[in-house]
Amino acid sequence: MILSVSGVVLLGIVVFLFFRKDGLKPSHCFASTLFGFYLASTAIAPSIKAGGESLASLLGGIKF
């Protein structure tokens, strides 16, 4: 649950920065939001979630 909330917050910040700095139009933001909601309800959603968790664990294991 924490990973999904963190991912949503991170993606929200990225979309907001694109909107403010790179000229992302509100229609593009709306379309990408709808795409995310529709993608989350498809059969590929568990694979995307597993890939995100795998990437998070990979990045979490990096020692600086």
Residue-level pLDDT, tens digit, the chain, 64 residues: 455 566 677 777 777 787 788 777 887 777 777 777 777 777 878 887 888 889 888 888 888 7
Beta carbons of 63 and 10 less than 8 angstroms apart: no
3-class SS letters over the chain? CHHHHHHHHHHHHHHHHHHHHCCCCHHHHHHHHHHHHHHHCCCCHHHHHHHHHHHHHHHHCCCC
User: pTM to 2 decimals?
Assistant: 0.53
CA distance 7 to 21: 21
Q: Where are the domains of the chain?
A: 2-60
Q: What is the pLDDT of residue 3?
A: 54
